[in-house]
Amino acid sequence: MDTIIVTGGAGYIGSHTIIELLTKTNFNVVSIDNFSNSTVKSYARIKEITNKTFETINIDLCDNDRLKTELSKIKNIIGIIHFAAYKSVPESVANPTLYYYNNLNSLNNLLKFAHDQKIKHFIFSSSCSVYGNADELPVTEKTPLKSAESPYGHTKQIGEDIINYVCKTNSDFNAVILRYFNPVGAHPSGKIGEFPLNRPNNLVPIITQTAVGKNSLTVFGNDFDTRDGSCIRDYIHVSDIADAHVKALNYLIDGENKKNVSLFNLGTGNGVSVIEAITSFEKVSGKKLNYAIGGRREGDVVAIFANNNLAKTELKWAPQFSIDDMMLSAWKWQLNLLEEN
Ligand code: UD1
């Protein structure tokens, strides 16, 4: 049976993608994770939701020797979906070398392994942070990239460049680069969702934790040149993102890609301000949030949202969930987590 390697498979988007792979495809799935920002409990949750089994390996992808040893034991690898990376904008501003070291070494090691083993298909998690503060919105895949506002965004720009060069020199190697906008929400079952090990930096887990008294929310800036002064993002349901990975994989395997590296924006196309996101949460949860207005956060872009036409036409993908759905599913997951603890 053909095998797909999923790196970061215990993490937020990786775990939701494994669910889609196990329920919508017949591939053998092998997850690699070192639990640096995830929990082994994700695996049990995936098994409970899907009733399917899959292999798991605990390695740090920066450890090239172990990566080669462990992955060489796996038979019939036809593709790699590479999620594992550090992903916090403020943490990357505070500790850039950590981000450059981890996000780029892991990518290089995997690409070298893929090359040596003649693995054909590769899917890379990129981010809308590669656009920087774009001159025109919504951004299309052709929008020129400005300088990244954070080391996190810069590691994604460099990662994309590396993949582009690798694909240029190896016509048998096919990659899809997916630029996620802001993935949020949780699996509709409420059984799995985002599980930050430390204090989260992302807005939605902070909102849901604030609603249960486990955190406090500050809106980072209300003096931006936007409709209510807070930053604008394109929030997209994590299950929509997961679904896009299965479609991207089939796109590569079916040879539908015209070039050997393809690039897609994964967003809904709707810009939502921080205040609007909070209002949506308050509406669906029936909980009023106490929040403060604070200063701007270093590394933040002002506003960004996607033109997603290319993913719709090429991958035959379309987002299914609204901002209210995203907030409701994140809330359901938070409540289930409370019951567990
Ligand atoms: C960035 C990337 C996104 C990537 C994500 C991974 C951009 C534009 N997007 O998201 O593609 O998937 O990193 O982490 O770079 N906020 C508050 N208070 C808080 C936390 C956040 O006001 O306590 C605001 C932020 O200022 C921002 C918005 O909420 O305007 C979303 O922030 P966050 O959830 O951290 O994601 P990004 O940094 O936008």
Question: Per residue in 78-116, pLDDT tens?
Answer: 999 999 999 999 999 999 999 999 999 999 999 999 999
SS (H, E, C) 165-182: HHHHHCCCCEEEEEEECE
Q: How far apart are CA 207 and CA 282, in angstroms?
A: 10
Q: How far apart are the first and last CA of the chain?
A: 39
Ligand 1: which of 16, 129, 137, 279 to mutate, judged by most atoms within 8 Å of the beta carbon?
Answer: 129
pLDDT tens-digit profile of 200-241?
Answer: 999 999 999 999 999 999 999 999 999 999 999 999 999 999
* Average pLDDT, integer, range 156-179: 97
Average pLDDT over residues 233-256: 98
Distances (CA, A) of 191 to 114, 182, 320, 339: 33, 21, 19, 11
Give tens-digit pLDDT for 33-78: 999 999 999 999 999 999 999 999 999 999 999 999 999 999 999 9
Residues 327-338, mean pLDDT to the nearest whole number: 94
Q: In the structure, what pLDDT confidence band is assigned to residue 320 with cuts at 50, 70 and 90? A: very high
| pLDDT beyond 90 at 339 | no
pLDDT at 196: 82
The span from the CA of 327 to the CA of 185, in Å, is 6
CA–CA–CA angle 67, 122, 79 (5° rounding): 70
Q: Choose among 87, 89, 234, 86: nearest CA to 150.
A: 89
Q: Does residue 152 have an active-site annotation?
A: yes
Q: Does the pTM exceed 0.75?
A: yes
Predicted pLDDT at 340: 75
Is the pLDDT confidence value at 180 over 70? yes
- How many whole angstroms from 330 Cα to the centroid of ligand 1? 16
Encoded tokens for 268: 């809904």
Give the burial class of 73: count Cβ atoms within 10 A of its Cβ; 0-12 exposed, 13-18 middle, 19 or more buried: exposed
Nearest atom in ligand 1 to the alpha carbon of residue 277 is 29
Q: Is residue 299 pLDDT above 90, yes or no? A: no
What pLDDT score does 200 carry?
92
Return the residue whose CA atom lies nearest to atom 35 of ligand 1: 202
pLDDT at 211: 97
What atom in ligand 1 is closest to the CA of residue 296?
26
Distances (CA, A) of 61 to 6, 7, 25, 75, 104: 12, 9, 26, 19, 10
Q: Whose CA is nearest to atom 27 of ligand 1?
A: 231
Residue 27's nearest CA partner among 74, 83, 78, 70 is 78
Contact 319, 240 (CB under 8 A): yes
Q: Which of 43, 99, 131, 152 is catalytic?
A: 152
pLDDT tops 70 at residue 28: yes
Would you state the pLDDT for residue 197? 85
Give me the percent of the chain exceeding a pLDDT of 90.
96
The yes-or-no verdict on residue 248 having pLDDT over 70 is: yes
CA distance 159 to 228: 34
Is residue 231 a contact partner of residue 224, using CB atoms and an 8 Å limit? yes
Mean pLDDT of the chain: 96
d(CA 330, CA 239): 12
**CA-CA distances (angstroms) from residue 134 to 149, 172, 213?**
11, 33, 36
- Ligand 1 near 304 CB (within 6 A): yes
What's the confidence (pLDDT) of residue 254?
A: 97
Tokens standing for residue 144 = 């020129």
Choice from 275, 297, 308 to test ligand 1 binding pocket (greatest atom count within 8 A of CB): 297
pLDDT of residue 341: 64
Q: How confident is the model at residue 198 (pLDDT cuts 50, 70, 90)?
A: confident
pLDDT, residue 96, reads 98
